[in-house]
Structures are given as structure tokens and as C-alpha cells.
């Protein structure tokens, strides 16, 4: 029997808008909770709301790290948010350059729009200073959270990746196990797949089932 440590897939719940959902994510041992700071998004929260939601969960060791998601926001807009909300990680989901993403003094990650053909290795090279890359099903013209998946076979094999990969796009409690087996991501990111019929309102049964499915895939 091998004594090699078992891989632990990180989990990010995105589009959190309610304190009860943030608290359950923390209780379930989720690694990241994401807040959408994109005006006009159906899951958008203000900087004040994001900080209040972050404050609603324990900040002790092992608590989820907080993520602020931006899309094509101006530097002044982002700095204004960061004067109020103090996330652990920034997530850029638009056409931001690597130098722009690096300009706020915080760890950051970048979403790759896998809804259209991409040279993934080129993204890894351009955004080499990112903490991680998100492979999502959006295109360069639209954001994530669509509930649709892309062709996982378009991603390079795990052994060929230079940066940690978080897989997103159409993941549900029913599909995430197969996604982990096929892609071997560092982490998985879910929003619509754990929601009720209303965007931004999480379904607690689906939240639990998603975490259970990830852990079962890791055990297997």
C-alpha cells in the first residue's frame, strides 16, 4: 500500500450573497468563498456587503479565504473596493493584463475564457506571477457563472501545467467527481451548480452534496 499523501482538491464557492451561505461554506471546510464585485451581475455585492459577509465567518486558522472577483474594472474602482473590503485573493475575470493584476499588492488569479479556443500554455506564460489560473467556460466577451461546461480535454494534462488550476464552468454535485478524475485540478470552483432557482441564493443541500462528491473523488 502506498504511503503517498492523498491529493486534496481545493473547493471554492463563488457568488456568495448571504451570511448563512458563507457560514455553511466555512462549516463544510470549503477553502475559498468568492464575492462578485461586478456591477450589474445578478450575484453582485457591494464592498460593504462583501466585508460584512467575510466578517460573518470565522477568521481562525482553517477558515475559508475570501476572494474578490472583478471584471474589467478600472484601477480606481478596485482600489475603492479594497479600501472597504479586505480579501485574501483577487480574481480577474476580464481582459486585464498581468501587470494590471499585479498592481494592487495582493495575491491574485486570472480566469482563462475556455468558451473559445485558447493556447493555455501561453496564458500560463503571460500570467506566470498569478497564484493560480481559473479555467472557466466563459468567452472574452462574457463572465462566468453561466452553468455551462467546456471541453475538459482542451486543457493540458496535469503534469504539463505550470500553475495551479481551478476548474470552473457547469460543475454540479453530479459532475464534479468525474471532472476531478479527468482533469486532476488543484481546485474546483462552483457557483450556479449549488444554487436554488435564484442566482446568488445557495441551496444548502447542494452545497453539502458538492463537498461530499469532491471528497469522495479524492478518496477514490
For residue 30, give the CATH number of its domain. Answer: 3.20.20.70
Q: What is each CA distance from 58 to 29, 64, 132, in whole angstroms?
A: 11, 8, 24
Residue 145 in this model has a pLDDT that exceeds 60:
no
Q: What is the pLDDT of residue 1?
A: 43
pLDDT at 59 over 90: no
Count up the domains in the chain and report the number.
Answer: 1
Q: Yes or no: say if 110 and 96 are a contact pair by the CB < 8 Å rule.
A: yes
The answer to whether 72 and 91 are in contact (CB under 8 A) is: no
Structural domain contains residue 29: yes
Report helix, strand or coil for 90: strand
Q: Which pLDDT band, with edges at 50, 70 and 90, does 197 fall under?
A: confident
Asked if residue 122 lies in contact with residue 144, where contact means CB atoms within 8 angstroms, the answer is no
Strand partners, 66: 33
Question: Of 21, 31, 109, 136, which is the active-site residue?
Answer: 136
Using the predicted structure, report yes or no on whether residue 180 has a pLDDT greater than 50. Answer: yes
**For 129, how many CA atoms within 13 A lie in the half-sphere containing its CB?**
11
Cβ–Cβ under 8 Å, residues 193 and 12: no
Is 16 among the domain residues?
Answer: yes
The answer to the question of residue 17 being in a domain is yes
| 109, part of any domain | yes
- Give domain status of residue 4, yes or no: no
Nearest to 109 by CA among 85, 88, 87, 134: 134
User: If phi over 0 gives left and psi between -120 and 50 gives alpha, with beta otherwise, what is residue 62?
Assistant: left
Count Cα neighbours of 119 within 13 Å in the Cβ-side half-sphere: 5
pLDDT, residue 24, reads: 95
* pLDDT at res. 5: 54
Q: How far apart are CA 33 and CA 67, in angstroms?
A: 6
From the candidates 14, 21, 101, 189, which is the catalytic residue?
A: 14
Query: Residue 129 — very low, low, confident or very high, per pLDDT cuts 50/70/90?
Result: very high
The answer to whether 203 is a known catalytic residue is no
What are the tens digits of pLDDT across the range 80-111?
999 999 999 999 999 999 999 999 999 999 99
Distance CA 220, CA 102 (A): 37
Residue 2 lies in a domain: no
Predicted local confidence at residue 151, as pLDDT: 87
Asked if residue 152 lies in contact with residue 179, where contact means CB atoms within 8 angstroms, the answer is yes
Prediction pTM value: 0.93
Please indicate whether residue 109 is annotated as part of the active site: no
Domain that holds residue 140: 10-219
What average pLDDT does the structure give for the chain?
Answer: 92
Tell me if 88 is assigned to some domain: yes
Residue entry with cell 465567518: 57
CB atoms within 10 A of CB 98: 17
Q: According to the model, what pLDDT value does residue 62 have?
A: 74
Task: Confirm whether 3 is domain-assigned.
Answer: no
Amino acid at each position: 500500500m502506498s504511503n503517498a499523501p492523498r491529493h486534496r482538491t481545493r473547493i471554492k464557492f463563488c457568488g456568495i450573497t448571504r451570511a448563512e451561505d458563507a457560514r455553511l461554506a466555512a462549516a463544510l471546510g470549503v477553502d475559498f468563498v468568492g464575492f462578485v464585485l461586478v456591477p450589474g451581475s445578478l450575484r453582485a455585492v457591494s464592498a460593504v456587503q462583501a466585508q460584512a459577509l467575510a466578517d460573518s465567518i470565522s477568521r481562525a486558522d482553517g477558515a475559508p479565504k475570501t476572494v474578490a472577483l472583478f471584471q474589467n474594472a478600472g484601477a480606481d474602482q478596485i482600489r475603492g473596493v479594497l479600501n472597504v473590503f479586505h480579501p485574501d485573493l483577487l480574481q480577474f475575470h476580464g481582459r486585464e493584463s498581468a501587470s494590471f493584476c499585479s498592481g494592487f499588492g495582493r495575491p491574485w488569479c486570472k480566469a482563462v475564457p475556455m468558451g473559445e479556443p485558447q493556447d493555455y500554455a501561453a496564458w500560463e506564460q503571460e500570467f506566470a506571477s498569478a497564484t493560480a489560473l481559473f479555467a472557466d467556460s466563459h468567452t472574452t466577451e462574457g463572465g462566468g457563472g453561466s452553468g455551462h461546461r467546456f471541453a475538459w480535454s482542451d486543457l493540458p494534462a496535469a503534469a504539463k501545467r505550470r500553475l495551479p488550476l481551478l476548474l470552473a464552468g457547469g460543475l454540479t454535485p453530479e459532475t464534479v467527481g468525474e471532472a476531478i478524475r479527468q482533469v486532476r485540478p488543484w481546485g474546483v470552483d462552483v457557483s450556479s451548480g449549488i444554487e436554488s432557482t435564484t442566482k446568488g441564493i445557495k441551496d444548502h443541500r447542494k452545497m453539502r452534496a458538492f463537498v461530499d462528491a469532491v471528497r469522495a473523488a479524492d478518496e477514490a
